[in-house]
Chain A
Amino acid sequence: MRVWRADLHVHTCLSPCADLAMAPRTIIARAAARGLDAIGVADHNSAANAPAVQRAARGSGLTVFAGMEVTSREEVHILALFGALEAAFAMQEFVQRRLPGRNRPEIFGLQVLVNEEHDVLGFEPRLLAGATGWSLSEVVERVHRLGGLAFAAHADREAFGLLGHLGLLPRGLALDGLELSPNTSEAEFRRRWPECAELPLLRFSDAHSPEQIGRAATGFRLPELNLEELRKALRGAEGRGILTEAASLWKN
């Protein structure tokens, strides 16, 4: 049993709002320099760059979970993470079945598909900044059916955060945890949203540029690092647990 530091919410240059410098090897180098054991690749409504980041991580000792940040019909962001690439791509297929619109890069930003050598393979034509037609509960159910973990991203934030945007925790929404933005403390969040008492609180960076990677992270106490162990830690099962690093540790 040891504590693994994980920043499970990192964008790549595929996200229209992310820095173009967010290419696989840059991300891995930065994550390693920050002393992370694991990252999650979570672009908006797509997992297309996740395989390249996983390949770039080979030999680095870093574990890379593939996933995405899904925008639900209610315009709430759900951070979805998977243990297998196939599951992440099955989720992408589900999300993009109902993702209307084409990107206008001059307005929303470039959506760059890359390989681990940082070659540009193309540009994603869909409007990844848009919302899928699936509801919150449909998104969370599908993540679980595919064996993944579902977190409310920056849950306290008014822009696209579950509690900040909707104002309440929808009954029956089976989330695995809530990611907090740097704008709130755990104590403040617990006071403001007592209905979330059962859910673990997590901190990840939501990095859109290299220097933001690892500015926040969560420690997972586990014997070995994989998605099923993360799930156990979130439930506090079998001596496993999480250590959410304080907001005061945020840098940048």
Chain B
Amino acid sequence: MTLRALAETLGLEVLSAWDLDREVTGAYVADLLSDVLAHAAPGSLWITLQTHANVAAVAALKELSVLLANGRRPDPDMLERAREHKVTVLATGLPAFEIAGRLYAAGLRGGN
């Protein structure tokens, strides 16, 4: 499924759009950057509550797209970094467990 199709199906808000037509097959949930650096599979959709600039940097490094859960809003410098590094940032009002469940139902799997 593409990021665009996921966003439309699940009502995700698009905050920074770069590669919406990219196929995404996996997702990863974590709020510790070190865990994401160590374990997230490249290309995954990263579900997190963290909203600071290093989120965009880690996403760029690991080639992830970001999905902010639970109504979280990105800090301005996170969006700035996301644009600089061409990172797609999505947002949902649903808690992480809920949105992870819906993504799983839509066919996404853990990357590893």
Interface residues of A (CB under 8 A from B): 17, 73-75, 100-101, 104, 107-108, 129-131, 158-160
Contacts and interface: CB of A to CB of B under 8 A. Distances in A.
Contacts of A100: 34, 37-38
B35 to A, nearest CB: 9
The list of the 8 closest CB pairs from A to B, nearest first, reads A159-B52, A131-B34, A107-B60, A107-B57, A107-B61, A108-B57, A75-B32, A104-B61
Contact of B34 (A107, A130, A159): A130
Contacts of B75: 159
Q: Is the interface of A mostly helix, strand, loop or mixed?
A: loop
Interface string B18-57: 0000000000000011100110000000000011111001
B83 interface: no
A107 B33 contact: no
B85 interface: yes
Given A129-B54, A159-B51, 6 more contacts: A74-B32, A104-B61, A108-B54, A108-B61, A158-B51, A159-B54
Nearest to B38: A100
B37 A130 contact: yes
Contact of A159 (B50, B60, B61): B50
A75 B52 CA distance: 13
A159 B56 CA distance: 13
Contacts of A108: 54, 57, 61
Interface string B60-103: 11000000000000010000000001000000000000000000
Nearest to B59: A107
Nearest to A75: B32
Contacts of A131: 32-34
Contacts of B32: 74-75, 131
A213 B41 CA distance: 40
Contacts of A104: 61
B51 to A, nearest CB: 8
Given A75-B32, A108-B57, A101 B37 contact: yes
A160 B52 CA distance: 10
Contact of B85 (A17, A101, A107, A160): A107
Contacts of A159: 50-52, 54, 75
27 contacts: A17-B53, A73-B34, A75-B32, A75-B33, A100-B37, A100-B38, A104-B61, A107-B57, A107-B60, A107-B61, A107-B85, A108-B54, A108-B57, A108-B61, A129-B54, A129-B57, A130-B34, A130-B37, A131-B32, A131-B33, A131-B34, A159-B50, A159-B51, A159-B52, A159-B54, A159-B75, A160-B52
A242 B32 CA distance: 34
Nearest to A101: B37
A17 B75 CA distance: 15
B56 to A, nearest CB: 9
Contacts of A101: 37
A75 B50 CA distance: 12
A75 B61 contact: no
